[in-house]
Chains A and B, each alone.
Chain A
């Protein structure tokens, strides 16, 4: 996956993350200068968080 594609995925995950708005703004500023390796690490962390939150939501919904 090229840098542009990874960045696009990160931007989507950023919107679903629990982080506060100013941290989102900070990452948006950093993204263009981040190396691919670091972008992948950030994407992985964000994806893990978003999946975990979504799973917890579905778990809570199915319990009722």
Chain B
């Protein structure tokens, strides 16, 4: 065990630390995490594997807590998004299923908040939330059909095996800005889709059916 005061002068203490941890984080090529004990343990070949296993396991446990938050925090922060998706609401407005009312401003605020919040969320937490939509055929078709061009590097990243979930929010941000600035409308998007095939055919009918409206 460590013996307080038993290490002699400071130089001996430094030598002892080097023996313990193989020189510490300076010998490691990995970026320091800010947790000095973890960085020391990761810098030592004998403890590196165990330290990384602890970190990985902790990330899995926090990911479970994070996913469970959907029923509490998200419903309070994003009450409108909890009911509908922004695009579904905009689409419904365009085809005359329901009017866009005073809640449009609060929708916009929620949208800005959720995209800002995504900047703070690490990829390992963000990916399970984003995957179902970002990797869906529907979203990828929307990106392809979008009237103003989505930057090629964003498209390439979205279609790569190890895509960055932040790219999904970047693309949504571009779409949101296009609509907010009047560069495009959901109507324009619908016009560009051959035969309304965005959702595999009959998109407008499906939207009407989904929302219980008559044609």
Contact = CB atoms under 8 A, between A and B. Distances in A.
Main secondary structure of the interface of A (DSSP, over half): helix
Contacts of A38: 65, 68-69, 72
Contacts of A5: none
A6 interface: no
B1 interface: yes
Nearest to B122: A23
B46 interface: yes
A28 to B, nearest CB: 9
Given A56-B51, A61-B20, A33 B2 contact: no
Interface residues of B, number: 39
Given A21-B34, A41-B68, A29 B120 contact: yes
B54 A49 contact: yes
B122 A53 contact: no
Contacts, number: 101
Interface in B41-81: 41, 44, 46-47, 50-51, 54-55, 57-59, 61-62, 64-65, 68-69, 72-73, 76-77
A18 B57 CA distance: 11
B45 to A, nearest CB: 11
A64 B51 CA distance: 18
Interface string A15-44: 011111111011001100111001001100
A53 B120 contact: no
B139 interface: no
Contacts of B76: 33
B54 A18 contact: yes
27 contacts: A17-B58, A19-B58, A20-B34, A20-B122, A33-B76, A38-B65, A38-B72, A41-B64, A41-B68, A42-B62, A45-B58, A46-B58, A48-B61, A49-B54, A49-B61, A52-B57, A53-B37, A53-B38, A53-B51, A56-B47, A56-B51, A57-B37, A57-B41, A60-B21, A60-B41, A61-B2, A61-B20
Interface of B: 1-2, 16, 19-21, 33-35, 37-38, 40-41, 44, 46-47, 50-51, 54-55, 57-59, 61-62, 64-65, 68-69, 72-73, 76-77, 117, 119-122, 125
